Amino acid sequence: MRAFRTSLRPATRTRLRTGLFAGAAALAALSLTACQDGTGVQDEGASQPAVTASEKPAGGSGSTDTGMTQAKDSDKNTASDTNANTSTNVESKPNVKPDTDSDAAEGATEEDPYAPENRDICNSSNTQVTVQEVSRPLNHMLVTVTNKGDKLCDLPYYPWVRFGQMQWAPQIAEYTKPQAVVTLAPGESGYAGVMLASADGSGENPEKADKVSIGFQDLNGEGSGPATTVNLPGDGVYFDSTLRVTYWQQSIEDALYS
């Protein structure tokens, strides 16, 4: 090879270089021509999402600008998302008109019967009063008051008891005072015990009566309405100076055996 290169003349070398340059130029021209007629490799830029047939805009055949199509599709998708979000919000927060009738009925059901405006003081207008002698304890009488009203009623303190035309008040058994005022629901009864005379005979000025008046008090200890007069059973009852009355009680046992 070295002998071959040495044997070449300067003119021959020049022709070889010229040929090489010409070949390179021809290849460059051929590559440029391929790029211009669309048969060669081209830089298509950044990758774009494919456009499906359903996304192609209406309006005839022919070539379509891909960028415009994608922009319109993007607007459609944005509008669709907005509509979906709006629909979701409407469903999650329905505009429901409150049922005022149902609310009023519920409020009436939940009304507190123990509120002051929903209760009365027991008196002769909303109760029924009965009296009866009992065999045990001796010389005792039971007063029963039944709530005939449609509200709760309270029985404060003790009954005012007056036999016949007596002009004095009986003693009050203070040790029978309950911890709270007796309250009667509609149809419920309260009780008070009356000791007519002491069992040992220590009482004085015995009297007999065929009627008894039962009076009521309010929360301030004042009279509550007119007294109720009740006929006593049989020929009447005897009482003396030891006459004593208990506070109103919730049970018969507390009224008679306190």
Give tens-digit pLDDT for 233-250. 888 999 999 999 999 999
Distance, CA of 158 to CA of 205 (rounded, Å)? 24
CB-CB contact of 155 with 216 (8 Å)? yes
| Residue 22 pLDDT greater than 50, yes or no | no
Q: Fill in the amino acid letter for 226.
A: P
Taking only the tens place, the pLDDT of each residue in 80-93 is 454 444 444 434 44
- Of residues 232 and 83, more confidently modeled: 232
How many whole angstroms separate alpha carbon 94 and alpha carbon 116?
Answer: 41
Distance between CA atoms of residues 43 and 46, nearest Å: 9
Q: Tokens for 158?
A: 């003790």
95-113 average pLDDT score: 54
Residue 152 is given by DSSP the state E
Q: How confident is residue 23, by pLDDT bands cut at 50, 70 and 90?
A: very low
Q: Give me the pLDDT at residue 217, please.
A: 97
Arithmetic mean of pLDDT, 18-23: 45
- The torsion angles phi and psi of 73, rounded to 5 degrees, stand at -60, -35
Which one-letter DSSP state was computed for residue 33? Answer: H
Averaged pLDDT, 133-159: 96
130-137 average pLDDT score: 93
Q: What is the pLDDT of residue 88?
A: 41
pLDDT of residue 101: 53
More confident residue, 54 or 80: 80
Of the candidates 258, 107, 113, 126, the residue with the CA atom closest to the CA atom of residue 193: 258
Does the global pTM surpass 0.85? no
Give the integer Cα–Cα distance in Å for 42 and 22: 26
* pLDDT range class, residue 113, cuts 50, 70, 90: confident
Under CATH, which number does the domain 119-256 receive? 2.60.40
Cβ contact 41:31 at 8 Å: no
> Does residue 108 or residue 171 have the better pLDDT?
171
Work out whether strand 189-195 and strand 140-147 pair parallel, antiparallel, or are unpaired: antiparallel
Share above pLDDT 90 across residues of the chain, in percent, rounded to a whole number: 48
Spell out the domain ranges in the chain.
119-256
| β-pair type (152-155, 119-121) | parallel
Higher pLDDT, 16 or 158: 158
**pLDDT confidence bin for 20, thresholds 50/70/90:** very low
Q: Examine the pLDDT at 19 and tell me if it is beyond 50.
A: no
